[in-house]
Amino acid sequence: MKNLLVTGGAGFIGSNFIHYMQKQNADIRIVNLDALTYAGSLENLKDLPRPEQHLFVHGSITDRALLDQLFSEHKIDTVVNFAAESHVDRSILNPGVFVDTNVIVPVEGARFHHVSTDEVFGTLTREDPPFEEETPYAPRSPYAAAKASSDHFVRAYQTTFGLPISISNCSNNYGPRQFPEKLIPLMILNALNGKPLPVYGDGMQIRDWLYVDDHCEAILRILQDGREGETYCVGGDNQPPNIEIVKTICDILDELQPDSAFAPHSQLITYVADRPGHDRRYDINIAKIERELGWKPSHDLRQGLVDTVRWYLSNPAWVEAITKQSDYDNWLKKNYSDRKA
């Protein structure tokens, strides 16, 4: 792996992956193709450890001519595909763009790793066993359906054209540089500003939270030693209900900002109308990646949340730039103003 093409590398996980890879491998050259949608920003790439080994290209993964040009100009040997529309709530309000962006066909000519999600497996009851690589697909939101479709295309390209592929299906990530439409950064920023903390439904839905650097490490292990054609499930082994995550964020802010006019921050918690088709519970079995590649998460959830809250407190310029660039206030209005309890 010498010349890596990262797609969607100006977004949350993609940019963390580029930071991570530059720390791990001093020689690798990275071409980063990103369309800079509302979720992508060059702010996420400002403090790279080796900026001279990173080339940003503004463009879309749907532009095949551009991809061909990048492949031949930069002798790309490996692709890691993060580019996607990633927010379930947006897929409910505007599904079309999820079909346009997320239903990808892979690029031929290099090892192709596709970053996918546990949401392709649908939802679990309290009694169901965790998702694993063999769990049948049963996506329930437009976002998850489009991601499932791309997973099928990637596998079909391996079967039909012999493309060397791999796929990871990962659970919910959190950490620095996450766009504040997602639960954890939204709650941190709303709490800091004394705004309501909108908990969907009864707040007892369960996600399997993973610190973003752990996900980056899992992808690197798959690229290095993963078997071609294989799928690996990646998860955090952390399954508290949403309300517990929100309360923990409030506690951390109470500790870090004891003089805040909004403390105790838990007074801001507000139950609001549920997400339509809301998946109840995710849990993911990581036995395969642990057994084959020796990977398991290394970040403790509470410590990861403290680090994440500290990161948002220390980066007000990032928050200001990101929210300005992305028409953020409009999104908040659109998604939350009619969401009565």
| Residues annotated as part of the active site | 118-119, 143
Using CB under 6 A, pick the residue from 19, 87, 90, 265 that binds ligand DAU: 87
Identify which range of 54-62, 68-76, 111-119, 301-309 contacts ligand DAU by CB under 6 A.
111-119
Contact 86, 10 (CB under 8 A): no
Q: Does 206 bind ligand NAD (CB under 6 A)?
A: no
Binding ligand NAD by CB under 6 A: which of 4, 5, 6, 13? 13
For the CB of residue 193, give the shortest distance to ligand DAU in the complex, in Å: 14
What is the token pair recorded at 297? 């998460």
**Tokens representing residue 68 in the block:** 């061909």
Q: 89 with 275: CB under 8 angstroms?
A: yes
Write each residue from 203 to 222 as x if it is in contact with ligand DAU (CB under 6 A), else as -, in one continuous string: --x-x---------------
For residue 299, state whether it binds ligand NAD (rule: CB under 6 A). Answer: no
84 binds ligand NAD (CB under 6 A): yes
The contact pattern for ligand DAU, residues 269-288, with x = CB under 6 A and - = no contact, is ------x------x------
Neighbours of 330 (CB within 10 A): 10
**Per-residue x/- marks for ligand NAD, 41-60, CB under 6 A?**
-------------------x
Closest CA relative to residue 183, chosen from 84, 88, 96, 45: 88
Q: Classify 36 in phi/psi space as left (phi over 0), alpha (psi -120 to 50) or beta.
A: left
Which three-class secondary structure state does DSSP give residue 7?
A: strand
Tell me the residue number closest to ligand NAD, measured at CB.
Answer: 11
Among 10, 293, 305, 319, binds ligand NAD (CB under 6 A): 10
Q: How far is CA 9 from the centre of its chain?
A: 11
CB atoms within 10 A of CB 339: 13
Helices and strands, number each (H, E), in the chain: 12, 11
* Count of residues in contact with ligand DAU, rule CB under 6 A: 19
Preceding omega of 264 cis (within 30 degrees of 0): yes
**End-to-end Cα, the chain, rounded Å:** 51
Nearer to ligand DAU, 95 or 109 (CB): 95
Q: Which of 132, 154, 168 is nearest to 17 (CA)?
A: 168
Cβ count within 10 A of residue 243 = 18
171 lines the binding site for ligand DAU (CB under 6 A): yes
Rounded least distance, CB 34 to ligand NAD, Å: 4
Which positions lie near ligand DAU, rule CB under 6 A?
86-88, 117-119, 171-172, 182-183, 186, 198-200, 205, 207, 242, 275, 282
Which positions lie near ligand NAD, rule CB under 6 A?
7-8, 10-14, 33-37, 39-40, 60-62, 82-84, 86, 101, 115, 117, 147, 170, 172-173, 179
